[in-house]
Copies of this chain bind each other. A is one copy, B any other.
C-alpha cells in the first residue's frame, strides 16, 4: 500500500502534529508514505512514519536529493518543479490532504481527475456553479483519515 500525504511546505505546530499522526498511523498499518519530500506537512508526516518504523518516499521538485527533509528514505530527484505534484498523487493508491495551500490544491485536483481517492483533514472546499463538489472525503482525525484511505485505496 502506497499512500500520499500532501500539504503545505510551511505549517503551524498544530497542523504539523496532525500530519505527524497521519504518518505514524500509516506506518503502523504498513503503508509506504509518499510525499513531496520538503518541509512542513511533508516533513511532519515523514517524521511520524519513521517514528513508527515506516518507509518514506519524497518526490522532490529540485535537482538535488539534499533538499529532502531528513526523514525521507528514498528521495526521487525530478528537477520538474511543480509538475512533480502529479507524480506524488499518481503514484499513490489514496491521498490524504492535511490543510494545504495552492500546491496542495493542485494535487487534490490532479488526484480527483485521475480517479484517486482524496481524504481531507481540514483542507480545501470546492464549489462549482454555487454548489459544493463532494469528492473530497472528509475525516476528523488522523486515524479516521488513514482508515478511510485504506478503505478507499485503488487496487
Contact = CB atoms under 8 A, between A and B. Distances in A.
Tell which of A57, A65, A86, A103 has the most Cβ of chain B within 10 Å.
A86
A112 B57 CA distance: 25
How many copies of this protein are present in the complex?
4
A88 to B, nearest CB: 9
Interface in A91-135: 91, 101-103, 105-106, 108-110, 112-114, 122-129
Contacts of A78: 83, 87, 90-91
A78 B87 CA distance: 5
Interface of A: 2, 32, 55, 57, 59, 63, 65, 74-83, 85-87, 90-91, 101-103, 105-106, 108-110, 112-114, 122-129
